Structure 1
């Protein structure tokens, strides 16, 4: 895992994009504007690693393909947090996104108060399917700090320890053969 500071200009850009475009156009579980902002921030930061333009939102739904690196379709999944990420933390993935033709997932956590993005790791879709755990809508989940939440949609989980670890941006690029 590695963590980068998110620049205020990038956050401001993402806030404008989320105000301008509706990224929640699924039939259910669209996420709040705050959750959409978290996702757009994570996607934009990762895109910046590869010198790609930031999300502009004008293309509508991206069908789970946030970026293409070395001819591989990649979806950046970002969870908002108020704590530093630990190896034993879990990443959530909505089942309704499972049909997208994505080859790789990069899981990130955005620390909302520190304005930092942690790249937790990445995994190819085949390995993700083998290692994930399924929880149907309405399941009560317990976090590592013993707080609970009820799943609002069918959900898959994968722990950080099951992801391909990366130590910095060059390592991520090398592992993805950029």
Structure 2
């Protein structure tokens, strides 16, 4: 894992984009504006690693493809947190996104108060399917701190320890 400080201009850009575009265009489980903002920030930061600009929202729904690198379709999945990420932490993935034509998932965590993005690792879709755990809508999930939440949709989980480790931006770029 590696962590980068997010530039204020990226956060400001994403806040503006969220006000002018609706990124929740699925038939259900679209996420709040705050959750959408978390995702757009994560996606924009990763896009900036590859000099692909920032999310602009003008192309509409992306069918789960946030960027293409070396002819591989990539979906950046970002969870918002208020703590530093640990290897034992889990990443969530909504089942309804499973059908998208994505080759690779990059899992990230956005520290909401420190404005930092941690790239937890990446995994190809076939390996993700092998290693993930499924929880139906309404399941009670217990976090490592023993707090719980009820899943609002069918959900897959994968732990950070099951992702391909990355140690820097250049390492991520080289691996992909």
Equivalent residue, structure 2, for 1:77: 77
Matched residue SS, 1:15: helix
Match of 2:19 in 1: 19
Report how many residues are paired. 176
Partners of 2:88 and 2:75 in 1: how far apart? 22
For 1:129-144, list aligned pairs within 5 A. 129-144=129-144
In 2: Cα distance, 1:119 partner to 1:24 partner: 23
Alignment of 1:53-64 (within 5 A): 53-64=53-64
**CA deviations over 1:49-77 (Å, ceiling 9, x no partner):** 00111000011100000000000000000
Which consecutive unaligned segments of at least 5 residues does structure 2 have?
none
- What is the distance in 2 between the residues matched to 1:50 and 1:63? 20
Unpaired runs of 5+ in structure 1?
A: none
Q: Deviations over 1:111-164 (max 9, x none)?
A: 000000000000000000000000000000000000000000000000000000
Task: Please list every run of at least 4 consecutive aligned residues from structure 1 whose deviation after the TM superposition is greater than 2 angstroms.
Answer: none
- Matches of residues 27-176 of structure 1 in structure 2 within 5 Å? 27-176=27-176
CA distance in 2, matches of 1:155, 1:129: 13
CA–CA separation in structure 2 for the residues paired with 1:24 and 1:132: 24
For 1:53 and 1:10, the matched residues in 2 are separated by 10
Looking at structure 1, the residues matched to 133 and 81 of structure 2 have their Cα atoms a distance apart, in angstroms, of 21
SS of structure 2 residue aligned to 1:64: coil
